[in-house]
Amino acid sequence: MADVVARQAPHELPLLQGLAALEADEALAALRRPDGPEDLGFGLAEAAAVVTPLVWLVVDEACRSAVGAAVERSAAGLGGPLRRGLRRVLRRPEPAAELAVPSLDAAQLSAVHARIKEGALGRGLDTTAAEALADAVV
């Protein structure tokens, strides 16, 4: 994620670094607040953060979806109590900096590309910039 932000919006790197220091759930909550990440004190009060929140949220969503699907597949044959225990252990929050993006298939990558492009357009990026950001993320 850092390489995408560094290429597409280097002025947002302080925000990314600040978010990476938080627990994953804390970072997501900060990005989803109505007043956005600017109130976190990472030096972006004057600069509109567009790329980092969009990339963070879409990549997090894709990771959770991919991991959730893998857990469901592997737990499908386990008994109820064991399956619930496995889910509870695997859903334990980890520091955001340690999140790893699992391998995504072509359909998942296409969905990530579409979500990034749609979100970028919705945040005011032009079509060329939105396409470039989506390509960089994928």
Q: How confident is the model over 75-128, as pLDDT tens digits?
A: 555 555 555 665 565 555 544 444 566 788 888 889 889 999 999 899 888 999
pTM above 0.75, yes or no: no
Q: Please tell me the predicted confidence (pLDDT) of residue 135.
A: 93
For 28-66, what is each residue's pLDDT tens digit?
888 887 665 555 555 444 346 788 888 888 888 887 777
Residue whose C-alpha is closest to residue 22's, from 95, 100, 92? 95
Band (131; pLDDT cuts 50, 70, 90): very high
What is the number of H-type helices and E-type strands within the chain?
7, 0
